[in-house]
Amino acid sequence: KLRARVDGPTPVSVLHEYPNNTRIEMAMSTLKVGFIGSGMMAEALAGGFDAAGVAAFSHMSCIDHNQSRLDLFASWGVHPCKDNVELATRSNVIFIAVKPYAVAKVLSEMRAAGALSKDTLVISIAAGVTLHTLEEAAGPGIPMMRVMPNTPCLVGCVAAAMVPGTSCDETHSATTSKLFNAVGKIHQVQEKHMDAVTGVSGSGPAYVFLMIEAMADGGVLAGLPRKIAQDLAAQTVMGAAKMVLETGKHPGQLKDAVTSPAGTTIAGVAALERNGVRTAFISAVKAAADRATELSKE
């Protein structure tokens, strides 16, 4: 088991185990990571980077308006900065982890202070903030990367997508991949697909939580205690997802393998189909994607 080397409270993401030996074997790199905004997502990323060995707490800096968050990061060995300029001088990768409405202001202020350079990769994890907005605020020549993570980052199991800006090269993409693959999985996509990413993985955890809750309710209806029903449902979802990822088989093929003729599983699948579960999931993804498009234009 791989754990972070900390004296204070353990970051949420390092409670996750990293069974992939390639991650464990990674030597601590020379990446110097700065977090502008030190909320839960930044906490998960920082803990995951340190635990996986891609960036050490001692090579990280942070800033936040909430002193308790700075104190928490400092307890792990992260350097709290007095302002964004100091953070920029200590970092070669900067995460913009503030609320979406504040992103352009932060970048504009850093640009005016001369804190941004072509030698520093800037990664925005703010939902709905386009590359055009990011690059306009940061100025020409600044390598900007737009990333859409999701909340399972908090347990080291992010599903993310990235879009490189016009000043990014293959090295910037490789660095971003290295960092996010330490806390899950990331894909490079075209920006026109980011709203679809939001619909599938950005909003997707909520759909799965709803599914787990409904499966647990069914277990209670069938006579199981609530705790057991919920644990069985959640573990089943995790195991089924792992089978899809690790076998590479189509979900339909895996479903067919467990649906015996006239058996219990096909009876359950037929009930789901009668109630339109497939259409409901497709509609949910499309509705979330459409809403993401609307929000990006506001």
Give 176-223 pLDDT, tens digit per residue: 999 999 999 999 999 999 999 999 999 999 999 999 999 999 999 999
Question: Does the reported pTM lie above 0.75?
Answer: yes
pLDDT of residue 52: 87
pLDDT of residue 18: 41
pLDDT of residue 149: 93
> Do the bridges between strand 93-96 and strand 121-124 make them parallel or antiparallel, or are there none, so unpaired?
parallel
Give 259-279 pLDDT, tens digit per residue: 999 999 999 999 999 999 999
pLDDT of residue 10: 58
What are the CA-CA distances from residue 93 to residues 4, 33, 119, 175, 199 (Å)? 21, 5, 9, 9, 28
pLDDT of residue 9: 58
For every residue of the chain, which 3-state class applies, written as one string? CCCCCCCCCCCHHHHCCCCCHHHHHCCCCCCCEEEECCCHHHHHHHHHHHHHCCCCHHHEEEECCCHHHHHHHHCCCCEECCCHHHHHHCCCEEEECCCHHHHHHHHHHHHHCCCCCCCCEEEECCCCCCHHHHHHHHCCCCCEEEEECCHHHHHCCEEEEEEECCCCCHHHHHHHHHHHHCCEEEEECCHHHHHHHHHHHHCHHHHHHHHHHHHHHHHHHCCCCHHHHHHHHHHHHHHHHHHHHHHCCCHHHHHHHCCCCCCHHHHHHHHHHHCCHHHHHHHHHHHHHHHHHHHHCC
> Digits of tens for pLDDT over the chain (298 positions)?
333 444 455 555 444 444 443 333 333 458 999 999 999 999 999 999 998 889 999 999 999 999 999 999 999 999 999 999 999 999 999 999 999 999 999 999 999 999 999 999 999 999 889 999 999 999 999 999 999 999 998 898 999 999 999 999 999 999 999 999 999 999 999 999 999 999 999 999 999 999 999 999 999 999 999 999 999 999 999 999 999 999 999 999 999 999 999 999 999 999 999 999 999 999 999 999 999 888 888 7
pLDDT of residue 30: 83
pLDDT of residue 12: 52
- Do residues 197 and 188 touch, judged by C-beta distance below 8 A? no
CA-CA distance, 48 to 55, in Å (whole number)?
A: 9
